[in-house]
Amino acid sequence: MATLWNKGTSATSAVDAFTVGNDRILDLRLARYDVQGSLAHIKMLESIGLLSSDELAKLSSALEGILASIESGSFKLEDDVEDIHSQVELLLTRELGEIGKKIHSGRSRNDQILLDLRLFLRDELDAVRSEVKALFAILQELSEKHKEVLLPGYTHAQLAMPSSFGLWFGAYAEALVDDLTMLNAARKLINRNPLGSAAGYGNSFPLDREMTTRLLGFDSPVYNSVAAQMGRGKSEKCVASALGNIALTLNKLASDCCMYMSPNFGFIHFPDNLTTGSSIMPHKKNPDVWELVRARCNRIMACENEISLLCSNMAHGYHRDYQILKDILFPVLEMSHDCLRMAKYMLEQVEVNTHILDNPLYEQIFTVEEVNRRTLAGTPFRDAYKQVGLEVNEGRFHYDTKGLKASDLGHSHIGSLGNLCNDKIAELMDNE
């Protein structure tokens, strides 16, 4: 197998297969970033005299050709090539001979993979950010559209107080603002340049790390070369934590939708083509999409813990254990994209029940409203509480819900039924 570290001896096929693992497949996701990093690296090498301007031109042209093949989908890792770094260098050497061998001056596979991953994760987080904002927009739209439609609120899975679809949809919109704050923090952490740290102890070449930082759009270098290597695993863990926060929000939303779709509740409905049926029960309309969103979000939330366990108990510096991080994180990124896109797709077609309170079952959610009414009329709160409680126990409590809207209840404080503050929440999101 073609490797950058080969010194004249070969590993057995069993060792090759075990140590390479899924890297060849996963590395295809990193291909364009490896080329982008190499383009910046050779410009820096030319600036410090390790490449001539003619060599730079030839290498740049060859790398642009490789990048074009990646973008067109024709690029592949050859059967006997270990990883993306080896494949790119092999192609350059085939085309340019000795010039191709100069590209690795001043760097190691260690800082190459660190760089590739940070560039890749930066783009992935930007994509997730866009998906979060798109989901936020539909939630805010639904909150405004249905803000007058009352909905039973629950605590301990028991009937509690009046809520509304405006409050419910809006809650998930604001939760996504918090999630985006975490996502932006993860992006800030990874948007620092590790290139030039080599194997973790720098290099005797006079590398211009500020130049590659500018060329690659990073905020700053990771200054300490050992710290750059220590970022492996930590970066992935921070990304996983941010994705886990989003997943927790989606998991709860999915659980709500599964419950609200049940005929026992009947609060929301989706078109039949967005549900699935049963092989034996012709009446079934199963919430499979939301159940799978819920399940996949559980897997996403588990990712941070798996990364933490993998990265524990290792001294500083590179260890091959880190290779498995891609196996853990890459599928979770895909699941995150899928869940965000599918949640938006489903909510774009949700229908809400505007007659939930026609059912007298829900009269008891208005006990607090009645207690407050009597308190405002002069009855001490604790006495009013006891009066209403006795009426409930004796089956005498009644509250007229006919034609009742959220704005009729007089809830006016910030974040209540009558004051959703969706405009303020939108401002928060705009600032993220």
DSSP codes joined into one string, 287-337: -HHHHHHHHHHHHHHHHHHHHHHHHTT--SS--GGGGGHHHHHHHHHHHHH
What pLDDT sits at residue 8? 56
- pLDDT class of 192 with cuts at 50, 70, 90: very high
What ranges do the domains of the chain cover? Answer: 13-105, 110-149+163-354, 358-423
Query: Around Cβ 130, how many Cβ atoms within 10 Å?
Result: 11
Q: What is the pLDDT of residue 280?
A: 76
- The tens digit of pLDDT for each residue in 54-110 reads 999 999 999 999 999 999 999 998 888 888 888 999 999 999 999 999 999 999 989
pLDDT above 60: residue 9: no
269-286: b or e for each residue (b if 16 or more CB lie within 10 Å)? Answer: bbeeebbeeeeeeeeebe
Q: Are 102 and 55 in contact (CB under 8 A)?
A: yes
Of the candidates 173, 161, 174, 171, the one whose C-alpha atom is nearest the C-alpha of residue 406 is: 161
Backbone angles phi and psi of 202, in degrees to 5: 75, -160
Mean pLDDT of all residues in 343-362: 95
Nearest-angstrom CA–CA distance, 351 and 269: 5
CA pair distance 232, 323, nearest whole angstrom: 10
The pLDDT tens digits of the residues spanning 280-323 come to 777 778 889 999 999 999 999 999 999 999 888 888 888 888 88
- Nearest Cα neighbor of 55 from 98, 88, 107 is 98
Which has more confidence, 14 or 259?
A: 259
Can you tell me the distance from the alpha carbon of 119 to that of 33, in angstroms, rounded to the nearest whole number?
6
pLDDT tens-digit readout, 395-423: 999 999 989 999 999 999 999 999 999 99
Confidence of residue 1 (pLDDT cuts 50, 70, 90): low
Instruction: Tell me the C-alpha distance between 43 and 84, whole Å.
Output: 20
**pLDDT band, very low/low/confident/very high, at 12 (cuts 50, 70, 90):** low
Q: What confidence tier does 13 reach under pLDDT thresholds 50, 70, 90?
A: low
Tokens in use for 325?
A: 């991080």
pLDDT of 145-181, one tens digit each? Answer: 999 999 999 999 999 999 999 999 999 999 999 999 9
From residue 91, give the alpha-carbon distance in Å to each of 81, 88, 227, 362.
11, 5, 32, 70
Fold of 13-105: Fumarase C; Chain B, domain 1 (1.10.275)
Q: Looking up tokens 């001294």, which residue turns up? A: 315
Single pTM value for the model: 0.91
Contact 195, 212 (CB under 8 A): yes
In CATH, what class is 110-149+163-354? mainly alpha
Q: Which residue has the tokens 């929440």?
A: 425
Mean pLDDT over residues 373-386, rounded? Answer: 96
Which pLDDT belongs to residue 27? 87
Q: How confident is the model at residue 5 (pLDDT cuts 50, 70, 90)?
A: very low
Mean pLDDT of the chain: 92
Q: Measuring CA to CA, how many Å separate 85 from each of 3, 115, 245, 330?
A: 9, 12, 33, 18
∠ CA 362-364-367, rounded to 5°? 140
21 pLDDT tier (thresholds 50, 70, 90):
low
* Helix H or strand E segment including 261: helix 234-261
